Amino acid sequence: MAANEKKTPNPTTADVTIDPTTQQKSMSLLQDAMYRLVRNPVAMISLGVLLVIIIMALAGPHMVPYNYYSNDLMNTNKPPSAEHWFGTDNLGRDMWVRTWSGAQISLLVGFSAALIDLIIGVIYGAIMGYKGGRTDEVMNKISEILYSIPYLLVVILLLVVMEPGLKTIIFALAVTGWITMAWIVRGEIIQLKNRDFILAARSMGVGAGRQLFRHLLPNALGPIIVTVTLSVPNAIFAEAFLSFLGLGVQAPISSLGSMINDALQGWNLYPWRMWFPAGLICLTMLAFNLLGDGLRDALDPKLKK
């Protein structure tokens, strides 16, 4: 039956039929993946933890009558209490507000860097993979050279030279972070572009852009999603690392990395100044990594061991 149906469409209607089928296939693939993801308790707990962290990062600072920058020199280094839920730091600033607004910065950097990586990486990778030949060779060599330069060094150089701040960090991370994504997209497109459904589309005169965005990229969605998810914690780590070195966002804006660095001074006496930011960043990174692993298992069951 099915074999008969496949033979019937004539070339004129094929244009109409191919589109819905590919789309349906990618939808069912995603639904399939969603089904597997929902049944993975580790991934679901991670997702839940991340949602809580995101909500708290947005709402947390508004839950108490303090802000992240006002000093209160009468109440420095106070342990957690009913007034200051996470205690106060060496300038008497409320740690609850500072921790959650630090998380805001982390998430902002993580998501924006991942988004920019996604855009640049997909465009660059799609051109490499789709064009092939000379273009691919040259662009691939360029990306390999860029990749061989250690990215944290480049980020540090850029931050030293440019005006420090959030925009600079995101820019510096985006400049260096898109290459993995480009390679993933390239590999997927090279694999897909000689499949029958693309040949069919091409033979019917579907343009390159439409081939890419309607047919090729939707089929490469799985690896793209996994790569994005795993690039978020990388960016969060990089921001914390740079802020720890004093190259990140500038005081008094709080960042989890700079809070950890500040806490080092009074580690022995005021450990809560370390526990909250350090715990939160570990939890965030852990949840993103576990969710990424879960997504990989769900989207690519072949890889599951």
Partner 1 sequence: MARYIASKFFFTLVSLFVLISLTFFLMKIIPGDPFMSEKAIQPQIKARLMAQYGLDQPIPVQYVRYLGNIIQGDLGVSMRYQNQDVTGRIAQTFQPSLQIGIFAIIISIIVGIVLGMIAALYHRKLIDHIAMVLAIIGIAVPSFVLATLIQYVFALKLGWFDVMGFSKPSDFVLPVVALAVQPIAFIARLTRSSMLEVLNSEYIKTAKAKGLNGFTIMTRHVLRNGVLPVVTYVGPMTANVITGSVVIEQIFGIGGIGKVFVESITNRDYTMIMGVTIFYGVILMLARFVTDILYVLVDPRIKLTGKKGA
Decide if residue 260 touches partner 1 (CB under 8 A). Answer: yes
Decide if residue 268 touches partner 1 (CB under 8 A). Answer: yes
Decide if residue 144 touches partner 1 (CB under 8 A). Answer: yes
Stretch binding partner 1 (CB under 8 A), from 68-76, 113-121, 219-227, 278-286: 278-286
Cα 25 to Cα 13, 14, 31, 251, 303, distances in angstroms: 19, 16, 10, 50, 20
Is the CB of 253 or the CB of 263 nearer to partner 1?
Answer: 263
Euclidean distance between CA atoms 225 and 297, whole angstroms: 12
Q: At what angle do helices 133-148 and 95-131 cross, to 10 degrees?
A: 150
Residue 105's nearest CA partner among 254, 258, 270, 271 is: 254
Decide if residue 278 touches partner 1 (CB under 8 A). Answer: yes
Residue 276's nearest CA partner among 110, 106, 51, 102 is: 102
Binding-site size for partner 1 (CB under 8 A) equals 41
Pick one of 148, 163, 205, 302: the residue that binds partner 1 (CB under 8 A). Answer: 148
Euclidean distance between CA atoms 238 and 285, whole angstroms: 11
Is the CB of 18 or the CB of 256 nearer to partner 1?
Answer: 256
Residue 201 and residue 285 in contact, taking contact as beta carbons nearer than 8 Å: no
Pick one of 281, 291, 298, 299: the residue that binds partner 1 (CB under 8 A). Answer: 281
Q: Reduce the DSSP state of residue 88 to 3 states and report it.
A: strand
Is the CB of 213 or the CB of 267 nearer to partner 1?
Answer: 267
Is the CB of 75 or the CB of 261 nearer to partner 1?
Answer: 261
Euclidean distance between CA atoms 207 and 295, whole angstroms: 32
Per-residue tokens: 145: 């050279």
Q: Cβ of 44: how many Cβ atoms within 10 Å?
A: 15
Single-letter amino acid, residue 203: S
Per-residue tokens: 62: 């508004």
Is the CB of 30 or the CB of 158 nearer to partner 1?
Answer: 158
Stretch binding partner 1 (CB under 8 A), from 8-16, 23-31, 217-225, 245-253: 245-253
Q: Reduce the DSSP state of residue 94 to 3 states and report it.
A: strand
Is the CB of 79 or the CB of 246 nearer to partner 1?
Answer: 246
Decide if residue 293 touches partner 1 (CB under 8 A). Answer: yes
Residues 6+ apart with CB under 8 A from 178: 116, 117, 118, 120, 121, 124
Pick one of 107, 201, 247, 259: the residue that binds partner 1 (CB under 8 A). Answer: 247
Decide if residue 107 touches partner 1 (CB under 8 A). Answer: no
Residue 240 and residue 256 in contact, taking contact as beta carbons nearer than 8 Å: yes
Is the CB of 100 or the CB of 288 nearer to partner 1?
Answer: 288
Pick one of 245, 250, 252, 266: the residue that binds partner 1 (CB under 8 A). Answer: 245
Q: Min. distance of Cβ 149 from partner 1 in angstroms?
A: 5
Stretch binding partner 1 (CB under 8 A), from 60-68, 98-106, 214-222, 286-294: 286-294
The residues in 149-168 that bind partner 1, with binding defined as CB under 8 A, are: 149-150, 152-154, 156-158, 160-161
Q: Reduce the DSSP state of residue 149 to 3 states and report it.
A: coil
Residues near partner 1, by CB under 8 A: 140, 144-146, 148-150, 152-154, 156-158, 160-161, 233, 237, 240-241, 244-247, 257, 260, 263-264, 267-268, 271, 274, 278, 281-282, 285-286, 288-290, 293, 305
